[in-house]
């Protein structure tokens, strides 16, 4: 059972893109535009996620058939992807013609001038701009891929929220409800704050033990991996009111003494809460990254948890990989007092708006062919199938696609939540030193998880080290 659930996400069902429905003249534009590049091979790299696999297995072959441009689409682990693409762009070897740009790393890429300015590129090659590209139709998520002047460096292909998933079958079970009410004195429902979350986690862990079930109260993404840092920095801290990793972006300092908030009481309480949830999480939690957390929830081993939205659709609908089909509830994550109000007012955010785009490195030797592919995967008429297969939406018009509307109730309104409440979430802060500071904080988060340090000591030390590292990197002298 768990073997199936822990398997890497299988490729989405290869639903054919709607190319056969497209008008003949539209198809001929692709063939005509690609004529000078026919026979060329473009190579790209992306993370092994459902959206990337859909592009690799469905959209890329269709592109090859239509244009005669061969696509070698490498899909690999998150760490490998960064390692490979950064080395390629750094050394200018030109192995990759298009690369995955995660929203959080683009600021580092821009600082290093790794990427082709697509706005300029479109001006220089108007004959290669698809008439229905319609940049205005992209959701505001495309803004994360622009520089100060509004020039675009990547076309988004995936965007999703890290949401709160819960088991509707368990939450709706009258026996469970009665037992819960008796113990805690309030009606069981999805948690809206952290006290509620902790009580629900405790209840279901004990319930699982009493009933002899492989069931725990929560997921925790706490493997010895950067994923642990990301759950803290992008999901837990913001929902406690600690934004931008606790770094003051005016003073470039993390310590409260210097205007930051990484060692603030709120940040410490948040880390303490999250680490405390480990006792209600399944044993694999301390080995789990994002993929394993999704697999744990899909295997029915957790009653609630924070799960990346790209997994929501398959967990809720794919019976070959999920044991909780039809029982997945989707809601906003719990927040500390005042945080929701701050997010509503645009002064904060309650969680992570994650996603990525495809961009073209300067070192690419086939920029024109790569640009055609970028537009191909962004085609409006492909987006319904793409969203249905991989639960990602990057265009406004996709929300109204019949396939998305049909799927939405099956994923408990995830797409509606994304459309209506997406503004409460935010991407990563615009740090060119993203990976560098992550590597400073990560060991302390891991030490708090393992109990090597208390959350308080860990964050006191982390904040000091971040201040020192930022000076070393040339910020906040």
Partner 1 sequence: MRSNRTAWGLLAPTLLVLGFAGLLPFFYVVYVGFFDWNVFSKTGDLVWAGANNYRRLVFDTEFLAALKRGIVFTLWTVTLEMVLGMALAQLLMREFKGKSFFRAVHALPLTVAPIAVGATWRLMTIPGLGPLPYYLRRIGIDYNIGRYAGQAFATTVLMDVWHWTPFVTLTLLAGLTALPREPFEQAMVDGANRWQILRHLTLPMLRPVILTALFLRIMDALRIVDEVWMLTGGGPGTATRYVGIHVWRVVFPKTDYGYGSAMSVLLLYFTIVLCWLLLTAITQARRETD
Residues contributing to the site for partner 1 (CB under 8 A): 2-3, 6, 79, 82-83, 90, 108, 111-112, 214, 222-226, 278, 282-287, 301, 432-433, 435-436, 438-440, 443, 446-447, 449-452, 472-475
Smallest distance, partner 1 to C-beta of residue 283, A: 3
In the chain, the N- to C-terminal Cα span, in Å, equals: 54
Q: Which residue lies nearer to partner 1 by CB, 90 or 400?
A: 90
Smallest distance, partner 1 to C-beta of residue 215, A: 12
Structure token digits, residue 362: 């300067």
Q: Which residue lies nearer to partner 1 by CB, 265 or 439?
A: 439
Distance between CA 462 and CA 447 in Å, rounded? 11
Contact in structure between 213 and 205 (CB atoms under 8 Å): no
Residues whose CB falls within 8 Å of the CB of residue 358, separated by 6 or more in sequence, listed in order: 44, 46, 98, 99, 100, 101, 154, 155, 157, 373, 374, 377
Smallest distance, partner 1 to C-beta of residue 446, A: 5
Residues whose CB falls within 8 Å of the CB of residue 382, separated by 6 or more in sequence, listed in order: 17, 18, 19, 59, 376
Distance between CA 269 and CA 281 in Å, rounded? 19
Residues whose CB falls within 8 Å of the CB of residue 420, separated by 6 or more in sequence, listed in order: none
Q: Which residue lies nearer to partner 1 by CB, 20 or 477?
A: 477
Smallest distance, partner 1 to C-beta of residue 248, A: 17
Contact in structure between 385 and 15 (CB atoms under 8 Å): yes
In this structure, what are the phi and psi dihedrals at residue 373, rounded to the nearest 5 degrees?
Answer: -65, -40
In this structure, what are the phi and psi dihedrals at residue 216, rounded to the nearest 5 degrees?
Answer: -130, 170
Smallest distance, partner 1 to C-beta of residue 225, A: 5
Distance between CA 270 and CA 456 in Å, rounded? 10
Q: Which residue lies nearer to partner 1 by CB, 3 or 345?
A: 3
Q: Which residue lies nearer to partner 1 by CB, 422 or 443?
A: 443
Smallest distance, partner 1 to C-beta of residue 393, A: 30
Beta strands in 79-225 (DSSP E): 98-102, 155-167
Contact in structure between 373 and 63 (CB atoms under 8 Å): yes
Residue found by looking up tokens 């490195």 in the block = 361
Smallest distance, partner 1 to C-beta of residue 84, A: 11
Q: Which residue lies nearer to partner 1 by CB, 30 or 475?
A: 475
- Using alpha carbons, select from 271, 277, 147 the residue that is nearest to residue 219: 277
Q: What angle do CA 340, 400, 141 make, to 5 degrees?
A: 50
474: left (phi > 0), else alpha (psi -120 to 50), else beta?
left
Q: Which residue lies nearer to partner 1 by CB, 228 or 339?
A: 228
Q: Which residue lies nearer to partner 1 by CB, 300 or 333?
A: 300
Smallest distance, partner 1 to C-beta of residue 114, A: 11
Q: Which residue lies nearer to partner 1 by CB, 286 or 397?
A: 286
Smallest distance, partner 1 to C-beta of residue 293, A: 13
């Amino acid at each position: 059972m768990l073997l199936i659930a822990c398997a890497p996400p299988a490729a989405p069902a290869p639903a054919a893109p709607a190319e056969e429905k497209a008008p003949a003249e539209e198809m001929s534009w692709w063939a005509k535009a690609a004529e000078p590049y026919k026979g060329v091979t473009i190579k790209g790299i992306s993370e092994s996620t459902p959206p990337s696999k859909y592009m690799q297995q469905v959209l890329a072959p269709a592109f090859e058939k239509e244009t005669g441009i061969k696509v070698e689409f490498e899909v690999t682990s998150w760490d490998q992807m960064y390692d490979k693409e950064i080395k390629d762009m750094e050394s200018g070897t030109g192995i990759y013609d298009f690369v995955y740009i995660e929203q959080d790393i683009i600021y580092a890429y821009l600082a290093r001038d790794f990427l082709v300015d697509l706005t300029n590129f479109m001006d220089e090659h108007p004959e290669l701009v698809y008439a229905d590209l319609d940049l205005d139709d992209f959701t505001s998520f495309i803004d994360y891929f622009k520089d100060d002047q509004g020039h675009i460096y990547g076309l988004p292909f995936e965007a999703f929220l890290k949401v709160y998933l819960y088991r509707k079958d368990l939450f709706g079970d009258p026996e469970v409800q009665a037992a819960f009410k008796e113990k805690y004195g309030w009606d069981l429902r999805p948690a809206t704050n952290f006290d509620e979350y902790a009580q629900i986690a405790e209840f279901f862990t004990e319930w699982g033990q009493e009933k002899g079930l492989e069931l725990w109260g929560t997921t925790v993404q706490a493997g010895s991996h950067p994923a642990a840092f990301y759950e803290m920095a992008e999901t837990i801290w913001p929902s406690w009111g600690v934004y931008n990793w606790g770094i003051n972006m005016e003073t470039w300092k993390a310590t409260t003494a210097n205007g930051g908030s990484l060692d603030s009481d709120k940040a410490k309480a948040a880390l303490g809460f999250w680490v405390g949830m480990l006792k209600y999480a399944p044993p694999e939690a301390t080995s789990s990254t994002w993929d394993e957390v999704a697999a744990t929830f899909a295997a029915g081993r957790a009653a609630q948890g924070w799960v990346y939205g790209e997994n929501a659709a398959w967990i809720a609908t794919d019976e070959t990989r999920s044991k909780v089909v039809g029982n997945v509830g989707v809601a906003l994550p719990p927040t500390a007092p005042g945080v929701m109000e701050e997010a509503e007012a645009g002064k904060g955010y309650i969680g992570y708006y994650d996603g990525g785009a495809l961009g073209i490195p300067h070192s690419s030797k086939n920029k024109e062919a790569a640009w055609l592919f970028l537009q191909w995967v962004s085609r409006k008429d492909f987006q319904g199938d793409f969203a249905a297969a991989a639960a990602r939406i990057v265009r406004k018009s996709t929300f109204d696609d019949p396939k998305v509307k049909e799927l939405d109730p099956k994923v408990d309104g995830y797409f509606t939540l994304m459309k209506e409440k997406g503004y409460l979430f935010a991407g990563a802060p615009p740090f060119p030193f993203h990976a560098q500071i992550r590597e400073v904080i990560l060991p302390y988060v891991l030490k708090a998880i393992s109990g090597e340090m208390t959350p308080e000591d860990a964050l006191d030390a982390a904040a000091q080290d971040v201040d020192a590292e930022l000076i070393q990197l040339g910020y906040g002298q």
